[in-house]
Chain A
Amino acid sequence: MRLGANTWIGGGLFAVALAVAVTAPWIALTDPVMDANLLNAELPPSMEFPFGTDAQGRDIYSRVVYGAQISLTVGVVSQIANSIIGVTLGLTAGYWGGWWDDFVNGLTNVMLAIPSLIFALAIMAILGPGLVSLLIALGLTNWSYSCRIARAQALSLKSQGYVQAARILGYGPFRIMFTQLLPNMLGPIIVIATLGMGGTILAEAALSFLGLGIRPPFPSWGSMLSDARETIAIAPWVSIFPGLAIFLTVLGLNLLGDGLRDIFDPQATTRRA
């Protein structure tokens, strides 16, 4: 199997982000919350502070490094929740059909019609800010694409001979879904999950930017951008580095998703000049 450039670059960027998040306590230079020193406020990048300092004099490099923990936790965990919800609903709807299919279809259409960020905002407003609320809000609002894909796959796979054979052998519906359908639809589902992860990281940044995500002073890329708003003209490094972190991580995930799509679905012709 030949991996394309997309997969390598995207996977590399995502791997770096993951490595940074995991090793944050060792590679950070200072404590991201406690080491505020107003004497060092808004210093440009230097040897001592590689990414400069913010309005409270905290090292931006250390805060970006710790911010990776929050962004990736939210991205990965809530996307896993989305995938589980979407695949469960889509798989059962596609396999069983009937009123359950109609119900799931209706629900998916409703979810697609509501802007998911607004929906997440509403959930956050009820639950209040915090990491757990973020996971819940983003984990419940972005499952419609996984659901669509899983349903379409289940519909096309269930007429395959091996699914019929499994029924004839006495397999129950759940055993068929788990052993016959699910393993054969993992490819497209992983692709959608990878692309969706970029989306949830962006949504986390947006919610934190709006003040509904991670509460200051804990570092999240979104809340760092929010803090940097006022000083963007005089101290651009305060917003550039967390912005760059979001940009590179989401770009990596999107490239990885595209690359995986090419691997799992060789029939889909890529239109690139």
Chain B
Amino acid sequence: MAEQLLSLDDLAVQFKVGSMLAGGIKTLKAVDGVTLDVKPGECLGLVGESGCGKSTLALAIMGLVLPTRGRIHVGGQQISGDKPPDRMEMARTVQMVFQDPYASLNPRQTVRRTLADPLRLHGVGDKAEVEARVIDLMAKVGLRPEHADRYPHEFSGGQRQRIGIARALILKPKLVICDEPVSALDVSIRAQIINLLLELKDEMGLAYIMISHDLGVVEHVSDRVAVMYLGRIVEQGGWQEIFEDPRHPYTRALIAAIPDPFHRAAATVAGAKAKGEIASALNPPPGCHFNPRCPLKADLCTVETPLLGTVAPGHLAACHFRDRII
């Protein structure tokens, strides 16, 4: 096994919801047995609709939510339910770019403070060095030095997201989790930010987890793609395999939902579009969670949970009919 930067081993995060009085306490399995690896310098696209557990997975990787079961290895640290991470060490390993560039910057801090404070906190004491690193990083994300003393409200959405990216990179992390980094931005700015992220990845040797429901973005930036449905990974593989030869009906449905002027093979599969809505994570359907919406549903699907099985080397799908070519 190659040196992994991040590896999740049967990771599960559960929340207790409800109260003793009103209907009893239920367990919400936000993340339910996820096994996943990210190599240094790689970009993993994490795809799934709202409520499938993407954000909880991100919080768990950053150590803000402790796993109920399983283990996380990240940059030499191990996190499990009874072993919280060393926050400072985590901060230098994993960082995050947020979706909303308006809520994610402190309105009372200048750009310089937003970037310099974390450096000082992590022991970069020398004033000149702090200043040099702040200005250098600002240049890398496309901000001019005179922007340093301005407040967030003086910037546009795209520029704010650049500040957010700079904040995530100031401690030189190895892994950056991008939580829908462009979905709150104007369409005309999206490409700029995506290209900036790709440039920085090569320049600084970063690995990304790109969380998005926009498959266009994921297809453009990802080396590998993992598709999540109700807390489980249902398919993962190289981006070409996922987009050209999807094996899980849910992946097919997602790809079929992309407006597609080029008529890719998967999009033309008859009846590929998923019916209905995502089921509640409080009460998921038995067997394969996707079975109520699946065009390939058989009796087996409501009884037995399909495990991730190999389709081709590096391409896994959790469907009983993954080998059925349509």
Seen from chain A, the residues whose Cβ lies within 8 Å of a Cβ on chain B are 160-162, 164-171, 175, 179-180, 183-184
Contacts and interface: CB of A to CB of B under 8 A. Distances in A.
Given A162-B104, A164-B64, A179-B109, 20 more contacts: A161-B99, A162-B106, A164-B104, A165-B96, A165-B98, A167-B87, A168-B64, A168-B94, A169-B95, A169-B118, A170-B90, A170-B91, A170-B121, A170-B122, A171-B118, A171-B121, A179-B106, A180-B106, A183-B106, A184-B107
Interface in B183-216: none
B270 interface: no
A171 B91 CA distance: 9
Contacts of B107: 184
Nearest to B101: A161
Interface in B95-142: 95-96, 98-100, 103-109, 117-118, 121-122
Interface of B: 62, 64, 87-88, 90-92, 94-96, 98-100, 103-109, 117-118, 121-122, 164, 167-168, 171
A186 B98 CA distance: 25
- Among all A-B residue pairs, the 6 with the closest Cβ atoms: A161-B104, A170-B91, A183-B108, A162-B106, A161-B103, A161-B98
B100 A161 contact: yes
Nearest to B103: A161
A165 B117 contact: no
B143 to A, nearest CB: 17
Contacts of A170: 87-88, 90-92, 118, 121-122
Contacts of A165: 96, 98, 104, 164, 167-168
A152 to B, nearest CB: 18
Contact of A160 (B95, B103, B122): B103
Contacts of B64: 164, 167-168
B91 A169 contact: yes
Contacts of B96: 164-165, 168
A179 B117 contact: yes
Residue from the set A160, A161, A179, A180 with the largest chain B CB neighbour count within 10 Å: A161
Contacts of B168: 165
Contacts of A180: 106
A164 B167 CA distance: 12
Contacts of B99: 161
Contacts of A164: 64, 96, 98, 104
Contact of A184 (B87, B106, B118): B106
A184 B100 CA distance: 18
Given A169-B171, A170-B118, A179-B117, A162 B103 contact: yes
Nearest to A161: B104
6 contacts: A165-B96, A165-B98, A168-B62, A170-B88, A170-B92, A179-B109
A161 B152 CA distance: 13
A160 B103 CA distance: 6
Contacts of B103: 160-162
Contacts of A171: 118, 121
A131 B256 CA distance: 78
A164 B164 CA distance: 12
A72 B107 CA distance: 34
B112 to A, nearest CB: 14
Contacts of B104: 160-162, 164-165
A206 B122 CA distance: 53
B20 to A, nearest CB: 17
